[in-house]
């Protein structure tokens, strides 16, 4: 016997998941096309973007030279990699979850911080509604992920619907 009730419930869960995926954060590629490397002014880059709780920073870099360390403000100011909060470095395409409304500080070790590889972001509370008026300033071309998540959710939905047939 087919359990249609169960399937419908499962469908509702998938649909709710898709909506959550759309409401959750964007994947923001640090530095845009430049990625994470020396001689990019990340202060300037960050000043033209908005960061919200639930967004993800996406660092793309050459892991043989550079790294991503979350540090305290003092260490960021002094380019001091002697102690850090989180080592974000993995394979060079690494993500960091912005989970709180506060300031975050990142530097590269190896002296590259002195060559500009330092980033501070000021994270605001997430928008209460995904239907909130779009902010033209934050609609930057390098902000992806919200859409990508929606596409992935739509793909998952259609696969599931095919299996229903
Ligand atoms: C980086 O950009 C900021 C903001 O636009 C500016 O104040 C600062 O002087 C720049 N730093 C360098 C090293 O160019
Ligand atoms: C990352 O942030 C999302 C919200 O965008 C949250 O649901 C998830 O639990 C967080 N993951 C980790 C590993 O902290
Ligand atoms: C951070 O992690 C990377 C990869 O695991 C490692 O190669 C590197 O030495 C670590 N950096 C520090 C400062 O611990």
| Fold classified for 26-127+137-142 | Immunoglobulin-like (2.60.40)
Average pLDDT over every residue of 120-135: 69
Domain locations in the chain as residue ranges: 1-25+145-165, 26-127+137-142
Q: Sign (positive/negative) of CA torsion 156, 94, 33, 126?
A: positive
Tell me if 54 CB under 6 Å of ligand 2.
yes
**For 28-73, how does the pLDDT look when each residue is reduced to its tens digit (9 = 90+)?**
999 999 999 999 999 999 999 999 999 999 999 999 999 999 999 9
pTM of the model: 0.71
Tell me if 47 CB under 6 Å of ligand 1.
yes
Tell me if 75 CB under 6 Å of ligand 3.
no
**For 139-152, how does the pLDDT look when each residue is reduced to its tens digit (9 = 90+)?**
333 344 444 444 44
């Amino acid at each position: 016997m087919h359990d249609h009730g169960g399937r419908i419930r499962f469908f509702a869960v998938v649909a709710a998941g898709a909506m959550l995926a759309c409401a959750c954060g964007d994947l923001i590629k640090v530095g845009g096309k430049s990625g994470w490397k020396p001689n990019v002014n990340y202060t300037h880059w960050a000043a033209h973007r908005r960061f919200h709780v639930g967004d993800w920073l996406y660092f793309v870099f050459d892991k043989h030279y550079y790294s991503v360390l979350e540090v305290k403000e003092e260490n960021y100011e002094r380019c001091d990699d002697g102690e850090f909060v989180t080592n974000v470095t993995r394979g060079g395409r690494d993500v960091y979850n912005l989970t709180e409304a506060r300031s975050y500080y990142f530097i590269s070790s190896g002296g590259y911080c002195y060559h500009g590889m330092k980033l501070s972001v000021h994270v605001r509370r997430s928008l209460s509604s995904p239907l909130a008026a779009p902010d033209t300033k934050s609609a930057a071309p390098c902000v992806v992920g919200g859409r990508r998540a929606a596409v992935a959710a739509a793909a998952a939905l259609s696969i599931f619907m095919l299996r229903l047939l």
